[in-house]
Structure 1
């Protein structure tokens, strides 16, 4: 008879292979790009992140019995949601590409971006769900990872909803009813590695954190998991130094033209380079009054969105946004306006929304978050009519 530790080790095969795939793949890429310092540094960072996750999985193998007996203790620490998501992106994006899958990350506006929780356990929950979605989605399919902040009843708490949705093979009603029991797996995918402990571990960790997990699935149409977790919120520390690395999404903003309102030369250079990297163009003005005048004098549909700094001379970003929204210009009410500011407290987010802005993007700029936020509000470009 196979002992539980051996069965458990076998069942964790696909979970272990996820970071191992990133480590092996990134090592191969690093060796092929030894003369490219920038790429080499990026690959080494991703190897480090994946190695840390692999270590956490090995530790989970050793303390599985403690999870079942509710003896495991959470290691609470300060976490920034953008950094957490960046780490997950670094691990999962490479695997998605190697499997021929379309991997989308969608985020809303975070009123609270810092909280206390167990980062390794949260990542384990989310990576388990993403790994399963990848495993049961055929090449060419899509996996979407969506993160939203929900309203918590206690103002000192923060609640997030994490959604993992795929276009995969789906789950039968028979299996769905016992999905979170140990050692369950679909008989339709016998060639796929793993014996079904991942979701049981995930459910145990979600319960341990006082959260909820729900699943919806239809065979041949896909599966959606929703996890809701609540934590103690932490106040933002303005201009807190951060060494955060995230995957730069390979986005396409070709054909879009933006109005960039920024009085700091370095900040405008950073954002301008990012927009150009994604194929966009922009017009730069240095204060809120110039922004109002430039927009008011522009032809309809000249600008697709406005990036608005807040603390500027002559007229600040809040005032400029209110003035733009009051203009008779055809695009005044509908053009997306994004706050781009180092003011990252919850009240700053509320102030931006109350002034008429669509979203708040804090500095330092998280590049993947910037792209996903902006893309959500842009109108799709249509091809010009053929002669």
Structure 2
């Protein structure tokens, strides 16, 4: 969700995992996403072009059945004064001038409350013009090993010789650790040129690499060019997987033309790496992660027309992309008053309204009431679904009292979104 926003703004965004011995954890996925999206959205918003954003995920300790992780979101943005830091978790606080430009000021208090409810801690360090660093520590349960990979498959891939190429040292170490946990010895390099030379040298000595994991974006030579040069040197013998944090849809054609066999999303997790190795080596016919840029097969949603009401630009673009992925046509409004005006003008075209709650000019509750009380023929029948970071019982009740038909917690969980829309459209038949 964050990578495209950072790229469009000219920011460098990295997500290095550090010292992670386990990547399959049991916890509140939705709330963790909400915490991280809130922090990262602010980092994108307040970091000027050419800046850097980093989400480091570090394992602090591991005990039987339990692990603690530290999530550190740092940026090179405008920063905050020491005086303001004392009030950053107070509702509706926003530093004058320096951090102007959007939001209700509720993001940080909600984030702190979620961290506290999950039994964790959150802290912040910042200086004007020197960026900000938010640190969140949370505990997670470790699932049992009952769904571990079958032994025969592990034995088959343990004979592989793998090379990792990534300019980020932590990413190289993390990938090597995951491979080691699968029983695979690996080498790693930090430039495209080193990668090509190492593959060439192994080929000359008759000790070819079976698989090469190549980062798409490296400063000296990108992954596509490295792939092309490796293919020229060794032919089809070494299998090449392009690893990228971005949507690989834009590069898939050129990467495959250069000789890439598959793609893998960053950050890399044990399950996705395992499946990728099975797939490219033919050890077992496995399904790779769906292409983030691809269209999901949900025929019951295709062709529908939704009005999305959201004042936050990043949240709006994420939601629009999720809707377009299932072939839903999207119109949008930036506040409640604009939503009312669009409904009165084009209400017959919309099948459903997704309504943010906290917005300037007119909030989602008032906008819903205005729509329901309007004289439009569909005023009482068009489904209106609330979208809000406030997911407590009283918020759901308030949404219902305002005339809304459902409630989605933010950040939006794609499966929950699609399921909610499918159920609502089915009721309208």
TM-score relative to the length of structure 1: 0.43
Question: Which of the pair has the greater relative contact order for Cα pairs under 8 Å at 6+ separation?
Answer: 1
